[in-house]
Structures are given as C-alpha cells and as structure tokens.
Structure 1
Amino acid sequence: MNLSKPHVLQPGRRRFVQILASLPLVSAASLAHGLSPSPSGTEMTTAHDTIRPKALVFDMQGTVFNFYDPMLHELARLPAVEPRLQDWLTFPGRWSAAAHDVIVEIAAGRKAWQPNRAVYAGVLPALLSRYRGGNALSHEDKTRLLDVWAAMTPWSDSQPGLTALRKAFVVATLTNASMAGMINLVKREGLPFDAILTGELVHAFKPDLRVYQLASEYLGFVPGEIMLVSAHKWDLMAAKRSGLLTAFVPRPFENGPGTEVDTLPEPYIDLIASDLPQLASLLDRG
C-alpha cells in the first residue's frame, strides 16, 4: 500500500524564494554537483581546489534532525487520529510549511517576533481543521504534538557526519529553534557541536540576515570562512547574501516518503552532498 502523498510548496514560501532569487548574491558562480566556485566566485573549480571553510554552521530542523517520523509516531497515539492516520501523512510537512510562512513574515518585519514554539502553536488550530478528527483533539493532545518539535531524532548520518567534520572544523548550530530547546536536543543526542547558536539570541528568524551574522560574531571568523549546511534552498540563498559559503544536503524524506524534493544546483550553492559524511569527504579534499 502506498501511503505517501506529494508535498505541495506553500504559496508564501514560493513567493519568498522568488523574491530572494531576484536579489544580488555575494557570489554568483554556477554550480554542478560536487563543484564549488573559486574564492573569486568567477570560475568553476572542483571541491578540492577551493579554500576550505574554518567553521560549519548547521540548520537543524529537517537538515540534522528528522521531525516527520517522530510526528507520525505521536499522531498514531492519538485516538482521534489513529483510525485515519493515512489521511494525516501530509500533516508534519504542512505544519512546518505553515510555521515557515509566519517566520518569513517576521523576518520581513511585517509581524512582531515571537518565540519559535508560539509560532508553531499559532498556526496549529487552522491546520487541524483541515484534517478529519483534528477538531476533536484536546488541549493535551495539541501540547503533545507541539512537544514533538523538541523531541526530533537525528538522521542516521548526522552523528557520524558531524563527528568527522568536527575533526577539521568548528561546528555549530544556526537554527530558528529556541536556545533551550536546541541545547536540550543536542545534549540528549550527544551531538558533537562546539557551539549552539539560534536566532533567539537576536530575536530574529532566518532568513533575517542578523541570524547569519551571529555565526561570524560568535565564532570569530569572517563570513567567507563560514559555511552554512542546510537542506533548504531559501536558507542557503539568504546565507549566500550574507557572505557565507553554502552546502546543500537534500533530505528527500524530510516531509515523508513520496514527496517531491528539488535537488538541482543553484548559483548560490557552493557544494552539494548526499549526506553529512559525504560532505566531510568533499571538504577533506581541500
């Protein structure tokens, strides 16, 4: 039985990507898989010919952590959902997308900043009304679902990949999550990060450039010595605009099996890797 359903890019997120794409980049070299621009950004070179970054900063939700499977597991435990779980397979991805649309509005200055959890809680009622049984969920049920965002699990390659990368680079988080939530997640999973950085430090969310500037401010390197690692093109596009190097690690199952994922190269992407160990291998050639 095929339980998968395609994930549809939300209109707000699509408009945001289109707007970002029209803005000038710090470096606009073209990219093919496994290739990255030279330091001048004007010619193509293989990864081992480039200057290596001194630090890597990581998007966490979807890139290092899997939220889909823990969310489906929790949904299956809810009496109002369990009998019709197949109808809820798109729920985790749509919740993430709805929260992202609000985050974009906050980053653009059209909404006031609020904590990450409040953003996810705010979009939940309207989303639940779109699913059979959603309006029957109790306050406790909704709280359990909200708690999943602080109980994500690492992808299978995250621990070995981060361990390999930390041998040669400073590694830090750079996420829209709360500081306390990210500290707890990293500590619980024993992930080998040197620093925890989140937009909460400046009351901002990516793609606000202030979040990317945190990396340079707190890690002590100039932006061109720092590489953002993310599964999200909008994130990489904004990071490139802030002067960071970029590495794209697509996560085909971020929103569940059978979803469509854009893995094509872009001018603002310096490296593409299938997972974190491969990223370590590519950077080791430098």
Structure 2
Amino acid sequence: IYAVSSIDGYVSNISVFAGDGLAGKDHPITFDLGMANLPSEGTYRLHFNVSIDGTFGWGDVLALASQNMTGYHPVGAGYQVSQDYGFGYIDFNSSYNHQTVVMPWIPNKDRTDTYNISVEVSSVINVDETNDLVYVGITIEKLTTNLVVDAIKVTESDGSATIKVTVGYPQGEQSELDADVALMVYRASDFEDGNPPIDQLTTKTITGILRGDSRPVSFTWAVKNGDFIFVAVLDPDDNVKEVNEDDNSYPSLMTTFGASGPTVTEKEEDDGLLPAPSLITALSLIGVVALLRRRS
C-alpha cells in the first residue's frame, strides 16, 4: 500500500529544435516522461498533452494521434494512443519507468510569433504535482522568400551551346536578392536513370534581382552530339533561406545536338517557359540539390 501511494508521474527535459527558426518547417519537440516509486507488480498509465500558446490569445493543443482505417496512431514517437479517443499515454512498470517522447511540430507558415510550448502529465496516483508541467519558449519568424527558375532556353552557334537561365524572385522580405546559379549537363538517358551529370559548369551569380522581377544568366558549353538535358540549380550552397527549397532546380527540355543543329523534343512555350516536372523528375532534382550542397 505504501509503495502504491508514493507513485509519482513526472515530465522533464523539454526542448524544441530551433533550426533556422523559420515558420512552415518542422521543429520537433522532445521531452521525458516517467513514473517513480512503482511497485514490482502491475502497470501504471501516465497521460500527457502538449499545448502551444502564442501572442494575442492564440493557442493550440497538438493532436497526438492520426486516424485511418486501422485506428488511431501516434503522431510522434515513444508513446501509445487510445484507440477510442486518440489520447496519448504510456503504460509504465517497475522495469520500464522512463521514456523520451518526440513530437513533430510545424509552426504556421503565415505568422511570426513567440510561442510557449508546455507538456502536462496526469495519472490516477500522483503524489507530487510540482513536476507535472514543463514549458519552453521559442520565437519563430515568418518566411516568404522564394527563388524560382522562370525559363531555360538552349541555342547553338559554331559548335557552342548557350543556355540562358531566367531566375525569378516573386516574393520575399528583402527588396532585392543575389542568386547563385549552377548548371549541370546530363545525357538524357543518364538523367532518366538517375545517374550523375557528365559536366557541371562554373556557378554564376546574378546580383540585385528586384522583388517581383526576374533576371537571366547565360552559360556556354562545347557541344557534343547526342541527347542532353540541362539542369539549373538555384542557391546550390543554401545561402538564401526560402519558404520552398524544393523548387530550386529545374531541367530543360531534352535537346538533341547533331549536324542539323539543336532540336528540342517539344516546342518551348513563352520564350522557354517550362511545364511542371513529373513526380519522378522532381524527386531526382531534390537529390541533385542535396548532392551539390554536400560537395560544397
């Protein structure tokens, strides 16, 4: 009886991953849950919830579970959820009395705010209520900056190809931005198969792109016969914080070089404006950006 009456549930060591401190990106919340003085027999359930409060009365209680055809499932890691209500809990015993929990959290991308994140626990028997609540604060900044490739145009003259890449700065906090642009050359078959490029041209910088405007930069490449795809990569060293890093690379249409000059597989629209890439191509391009940043 004494052992049961001295059981104490607690939460401790809360932290939130600050990263670059930008809204719209994952900032996981980590904390420890446990129960002290557990008897050698039986299991004892500890419930918890996670609340996030901002300024001007804004607040939210994080969902601890998602639901599909098979029932409720934890949103984070290290705990269980009720199949009836989706509440978070952990069943502890004398040999398992401590657990680290990690919860994903993506602050609203449309707001800058200072948040207070708190975790509170409860159990049927709990002798010390002073360790039932922990909290941590973090300031998150709204981000709107984005760079995009507006167009890629390929021409040839006297055995030399000119690849004109037009970069747009449609939105952002600054009135103007400098943008680095890298260009990689793929054989078309290698690009489709996910193989590395045959050539990577020297990175160039476009200075002073005004917000809402676009600017071109041109690369030259000694022509080889065959089918090729040129991939432009913006900000390859990740110097500019953007709301969307996934649109920083874009491929040209396939261009065939031969005795009759360059031939494009499809008619380029609006002076080289390109349609959206397929899902497979998009996944390949994400890998391209990651490869460039590792090399840097």
TM-score (norm 1): 0.23
- Between Structure 1 and Structure 2, the one with more helix by share is 1
Give the structure with higher Rg (CA): 2
- Between Structure 1 and Structure 2, the one with more strand by share is 2
**Larger RCO (CA under 8 A, 6+ residues apart):** 1
